[in-house]
């Protein structure tokens, strides 16, 4: 038997961020991660820190997202200095393109709604094609305009995951590659079983992606989740042309260009579909016509982990106090609040932050 202050199940971006946050507060933490052949949403991530459009119909989610985005600069600095890993963090604002006047009008209405709901906390700009061309000379003529938010940015998601793991271990956290096969709760203590070991703790944080659906039932919770596939294309390395990230196209620090943003309901299929890749490429070429002559060298599919309403899931058990279930498809954007705010409250036995209490699973009991 091995006893810990907290056991985190799941080593993706959410589990790693919470584990790192707990360890930095001096907690004795075990992070249980599955094998590399498990579904890995964290390793197929586009890498955006994205605010615009998030929570347009839910002010708590919009506030939560802005709160995290504002913490990213200090969080990135702390993590990079601790681990000596370059996160390729940049936060100079991001653009979301519209290819016709109808899209542009719809986008403006949405951004105005976000600004009103935020009571002055969210600012944006709408730019037409000629204004965009001053910033991005290679923009195509079919782009009607774009929205711009100063809070948006991007990172290398693989380096972020690597840094969270390395930082966690540096802070004396224990990382073990083991799938959880059972959880029991008795007299305030959780016993977490893997194939080879048993571990105990008075707190268990479930951040295991789709595995949460089964594991949550062991601690009196529910996690209604479903997959949605997104596909990404990556180009050869080319000279810098895009300083700001966008929702569809972003250029990485090493010169590669990522194209993405497909939404496919195909179950647990992580493959790629030529028709979807063609749609992604066609839209990218409309935005930046010169990409037509740039070689694509890699493509992959990855599964988003979604609730039915697309909002995150933050829940704590009433029948098994000390058990939490966390899930979100915005693991990059929300990494700072997961590491600092969520972990901070759990470490102090204060439950979840009030701002996320509305994201519990009770909302699905209708």
Strands (E), 108-261: 125-128, 145-149, 153-154, 174-177, 180-186, 189-194, 198-201, 204-206, 226-235, 249-251, 257-259
Q: Nearest to residue 171, comparing CAs of 5, 356, 307?
A: 5
CA–CA dist 97, 95 (Å, integer) = 6
Rounded to two decimals, the pTM is 0.95
Q: Nearest to residue 301, comparing CAs of 232, 249, 247?
A: 232
Tracing tokens 């719809």 back to the chain, one arrives at 106
pLDDT of the residue at 365: 85
**Residue 80: inside a domain:** no
CA–CA dist 53, 84 (Å, integer) = 33
Domain-terminating residue out of 104, 125, 149 = 149
CA–CA dist 208, 14 (Å, integer) = 9
Same domain for 131 and 249, yes or no, is: no
Evaluate whether 154 touches 253 at the Cβ level (below 8 Å).
Answer: no
Beta strand pairing call for 198-201 and 174-177: unpaired
Same domain for 260 and 114, yes or no, is: no
Evaluate whether 224 touches 305 at the Cβ level (below 8 Å).
Answer: no
Same domain for 212 and 340, yes or no, is: yes
CA–CA dist 295, 137 (Å, integer) = 21
Number of C-beta neighbours around residue 10 at 10 A: 27
pLDDT of the residue at 261: 84
CA dihedral of residues 313, 317, 322, 324 (deg, nearest 10): -20
Same domain for 136 and 276, yes or no, is: no
Same domain for 237 and 332, yes or no, is: no
Q: Nearest to residue 157, comparing CAs of 252, 23, 242, 221?
A: 252
State the DSSP code for 188. Answer: T
Same domain for 282 and 162, yes or no, is: no
Residue span of the structural domain in which 264 resides: 226-306
Same domain for 57 and 100, yes or no, is: no
Same domain for 263 and 140, yes or no, is: no
Same domain for 17 and 119, yes or no, is: no
Please give the chain's pLDDT, 366 residues, in tens: 589 999 999 999 999 999 999 999 999 999 999 866 665 666 778 899 999 999 999 999 999 999 999 999 999 999 999 999 999 999 999 999 999 999 999 999 999 999 999 988 999 999 999 999 999 999 999 999 999 999 999 999 999 999 999 999 999 999 999 899 999 999 999 999 999 899 999 999 999 999 999 999 999 999 999 999 999 999 999 999 999 999 999 999 999 999 998 899 999 998 999 999 999 999 999 999 999 999 999 999 999 999 999 999 999 999 999 999 999 999 999 999 999 999 999 999 999 999 999 999 999 886
**CA of residue 359 relative to chain centroid, distance:** 16
**Residue 45: inside a domain:** yes
What would you report as the CA-atom Rg of the chain, rounded to the nearest whole angstrom? 21
Domain-terminating residue out of 277, 306, 335 = 306
Same domain for 58 and 178, yes or no, is: yes
| Total tally of structural domains belonging to the chain | 3
CATH number of residue 59's parent domain: 3.50.50.60
State which H helix or E strand residue 6 sits in: strand 6-9
State which H helix or E strand residue 2 sits in: strand 2-4
End-to-end Cα, the chain, rounded Å: 41
**Residue 84: inside a domain:** no
pLDDT of the residue at 183: 97
Same domain for 135 and 170, yes or no, is: no
**Residue 89: inside a domain:** no
**Residue 17: inside a domain:** yes
**Residue 78: inside a domain:** no
pLDDT of the residue at 357: 95
Domain-terminating residue out of 262, 281, 306 = 306
CATH number of residue 273's parent domain: 3.30.9.10
**CA of residue 361 relative to chain centroid, distance:** 19
Same domain for 6 and 67, yes or no, is: yes
pLDDT of the residue at 2: 87
**Residue 82: inside a domain:** no
């Amino acid at each position: 038997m091995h006893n810990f202050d907290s056991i985190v199940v799941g080593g993706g971006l959410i589990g790693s961020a919470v584990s790192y946050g707990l360890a930095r507060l001096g907690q004795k933490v075990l992070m249980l991660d599955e094998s590399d052949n498990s579904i890995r949403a964290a390793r197929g991530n586009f890498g955006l820190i994205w605010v615009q459009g998030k929570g347009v119909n839910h002010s708590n989610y919009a506030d939560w997202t802005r709160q995290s985005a504002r913490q990213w600069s200090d969080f990135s600095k702390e993590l990079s200095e601790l681990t000596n890993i370059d996160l390729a963090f940049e936060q100079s604002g991001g653009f979301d393109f519209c290819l016709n006047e109808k899209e542009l009008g719809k986008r403006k209405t949405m951004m105005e709604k976000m600004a009103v709901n935020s009571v002055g906390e969210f600012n944006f700009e709408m730019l037409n094609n000629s204004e965009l061309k001053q910033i991005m000379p290679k923009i195509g003529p079919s782009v009607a305009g774009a929205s711009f938010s100063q809070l948006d940015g991007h990172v290398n998601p693989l380096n972020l995951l690597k840094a969270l793991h390395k930082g966690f271990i540096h802070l004396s956290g224990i990382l073990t590659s083991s799938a959880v096969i059972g959880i029991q709760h008795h007299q305030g203590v959780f016993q977490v079983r893997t194939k080879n070991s048993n571990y105990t703790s008075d707190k268990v944080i479930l951040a295991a992606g789709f595995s949460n659906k089964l594991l949550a039932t062991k601690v009196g919770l529910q996690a209604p989740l479903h997959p949605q596939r997104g596909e990404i294309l990556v180009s050869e390395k080319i000279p810098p042309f895009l300083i700001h990230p966008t929702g569809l196209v972003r250029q990485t620090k090493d010169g590669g260009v990522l194209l993405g943003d497909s939404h496919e309901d195909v179950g647990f299929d992580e493959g790629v579909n030529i028709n979807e890749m063609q749609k992604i490429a066609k839209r990218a070429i409309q935005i930046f016509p010169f990409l037509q002559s740039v070689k694509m060298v890699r493509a992959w599919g990855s599964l988003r982990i979604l609730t039915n309403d697309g909002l995150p899931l933050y829940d704590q058990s009433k029948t098994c106090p000390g058990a939490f279930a966390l899930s979100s498809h915005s693991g990059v954007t929300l990494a700072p609040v997961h590491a600092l705010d969520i972990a901070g409250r759990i470490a102090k036995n204060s439950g979840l932050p009030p701002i996320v209490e509305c994201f519990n699973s009770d909302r699905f009991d209708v």
